[in-house]
Amino acid sequence: MSKYIFITGGVVSSLGKGISGASIGKLLQLRGFKVNMIKFDPYINIDPGTMNPYQHGEVFVTADGAESDLDLGTYERFLDVYTSKANTNTAGDIYKTVINRERRGDYDGATVQVIPHITDEIKKRFAALKNKCDISIIEIGGTVGDIEGLPFMEAARQFQLENKKEDIFSIHVTLVPYIAGAHELKTKPTQHSVNKLREIGISPDMIICRTEYHLDESLKRKISLFCNVKKECVIEAMDAPSIYFIPEAFYDQKVDSLIIEELNMKTKKKFDKTWFTKIKSLGEFNKTVKVAVVGKYADLKDAYKSIDESLNIAATELKAKAEIHYLGAEDKDLVRKLKDFDAILVPGGFGNRGVEGKIKAITYARKNKIPFLGICLGMQCSVIEASRNLAKLKNANSTEFDETTKYPVIKILEEQKNVSYRGGTMRLGNYKAEIKKDALAHNLYKSIAIEERHRHRYEMNPEFIDILEKVGLSVTAYHKGVLPEIVEIKDHPFFLGVQFHPEFASRPMKAHPIFKGFLSAALKVSK
């Protein structure tokens, strides 16, 4: 059996198609089905790796090293699964595959066209994971009517034609705006959006309406009639205090049973509501922990989506609420602002901008014994900080920011240049590391062998390890005994820098040990 659920969006972008898809996936998973989610992004970039987080939010890295859309993080967290390269596709990558094939002469002299060559490649990718699951949930990025999305919509239409009706369920996510002056919710944008979709040849089986207010029965009936969708398949999606409450809101509207029925499937097991109860109980807390995230993209939370999620997940397990503030690393007043916080986190990043501010924040955390977590660039900054201020290596730096520095404490290692890593010189995806016994990290992981996701080019320079260890910054984990993975300062409540990205591995009810340890230390010193 291979069944498919297609999710398209209309009216405006950012409607949370990913969250809707993941919530439906969760319900189907709780019914015993094996679900996979595949994202299709219609832009020309090969992957979002090179895109500015302001445009696209965080780059989520899969265990097998794909640089992908942040929706894959949502899928992983909701479904507690590991996605891979096959779960993320872009128009750029699809065109590249077709063009490479054309260059090799594989098309035998044919004129290579959007239909059928591009659409064939898209359809192949729709079905890529069919043998690994019962249901593939396919999310097409963008909004219906976008020029670049057309080949994807066309492929979805053809896919319907070539498969049995009972194997495909189509969901359209739209917005039902509230017009304050008229005190009214408006269905017209939804009607237009569904019309557009039907022009392409796709008739949705379900409409998920994002709305600020309840949809009454007459409104649902209106949408049902105008859009040719059964009334019970007009679903209300109100803003929720937590995205993890959405599966239950959908369950209450029978979203899963409606889909199962339409797809002619048999529920594999009795619905177990424990997940809903557990998720709800996580919202109970009696203390607050204030965390400063000092980064380049202070005004865009999505740029640090997985970090935000990881902190929230860890805090709830500690029965606390994480109050997370994003502080701009270039803010002149940064150090003064840090005085209000229980913990300081410096996240990953690329490029020079804000680096000196991040280093100042680390000096502050180190000297004032504020729990500190440095991730990737944040870890590299902590090495620079200790080199300059503890080891007195004047102007020590990463060669990413100063190619001619006398003390290149972070650099691209020769060994690394010779290794053919996935993604060229970038270390991407899962790499193993071995932690030293009795290190803080060992205490947190309760294990020596770990495997975590990476996304970086530069490494801590092993030539400086001895000097830094003498002044208190020790390397407590290595990859293959050579590449430093974790640094720590002992005489401190919590000072940890990690070359990898633990934020990609957090799951609700399964907080990552590093985030849990970090916030637990913060709660101890909490003001």
Contacts of 238 by beta carbon, 8 Å cutoff, 6+ apart: 211, 212, 213, 214, 249
Contacts of 161 by beta carbon, 8 Å cutoff, 6+ apart: none
Residue with tokens 């309406």: 209
Q: How many C-beta atoms lie closer than 10 Å to residue 123's C-beta?
A: 18
Q: What is the DSSP letter of 301?
A: G
Using the rule CB under 6 A, is 456 a contact of ligand GLN?
A: yes
Of 69, 205, 400, 485, the residue at the interface with ligand GLN (CB under 6 A) is 400
- The alpha-helical segments, DSSP class H, found in 31-174 are 53-56, 71-79, 91-103, 119-126, 150-162
Q: Which of 117, 376, 452, 512 is catalytic?
A: 376
Q: How far is the CB of 496 from ligand GLN (least distance, A)?
A: 15
Q: Which helix (H) or strand (E) holds 116?
A: none
**What is the rounded distance in angstroms from the CA atom of residue 453 to the CA atom of residue 439?**
20
Binders of ligand GLN in range 49-108 (CB under 6 A): none
Residue 209 near residue 190 (C-beta atoms within 8 A): yes
214 catalytic? Reply is: no
**What is the rounded distance in angstroms from the CA atom of residue 496 to the CA atom of residue 522?**
13
Of 21, 349, 408, 497, the residue at the interface with ligand GLN (CB under 6 A) is 349
**What is the rounded distance in angstroms from the CA atom of residue 393 to the CA atom of residue 384?**
9
Stretch that binds ligand GLN, among 2-10, 42-50, 290-298, 454-462 (CB under 6 A): 454-462
Q: Which of 56, 117, 501, 512 is catalytic?
A: 501
Helix (H, G, I), strand (E, B) or coil at 464: helix
Residue with tokens 């090495």: 383
209 catalytic? Reply is: no
Which among 205, 210, 234, 203 is positioned nearest to 221, based on CA atoms? 234
Structure tokens at 98: 């077709």
Using the rule CB under 6 A, is 457 a contact of ligand GLN?
A: yes
Q: What is the DSSP letter of 131?
A: G
Using the rule CB under 6 A, is 458 a contact of ligand GLN?
A: yes
Q: How far is the CB of 513 from ligand GLN (least distance, A)?
A: 20
Of 350, 448, 472, 509, the residue at the interface with ligand GLN (CB under 6 A) is 350
501 catalytic? Reply is: yes
Using the rule CB under 6 A, is 413 a contact of ligand GLN?
A: no
Q: How far is the CB of 501 from ligand GLN (least distance, A)?
A: 7
Of 65, 348, 429, 508, the residue at the interface with ligand GLN (CB under 6 A) is 348
Q: How far is the CB of 425 from ligand GLN (least distance, A)?
A: 9
For helices 305-317 and 71-79, what crossing angle results, to 10°? 20
Residues 433, 436, 437: CA angle, nearest 5 degrees: 130
The count of residues interacting with ligand GLN (CB under 6 A) is 11
Q: How far is the CB of 459 from ligand GLN (least distance, A)?
A: 7
Of 7, 255, 294, 377, the residue at the interface with ligand GLN (CB under 6 A) is 377
> Residue 407: what are its φ and ψ, rounded to 5°?
-120, 85
Stretch that binds ligand GLN, among 26-34, 132-140, 373-381, 511-519 (CB under 6 A): 373-381
Residue 159 or residue 504: which is nearer to ligand GLN going by CB?
A: 504
Q: How far is the CB of 46 from ligand GLN (least distance, A)?
A: 18
Q: Closest-CB residue for ligand GLN?
A: 348
Question: By the criterion CB under 6 A, which residues form the site for ligand GLN?
Answer: 348-350, 376-377, 380, 400, 455-458
Which residue numbers are catalytic? Answer: 376, 501, 503
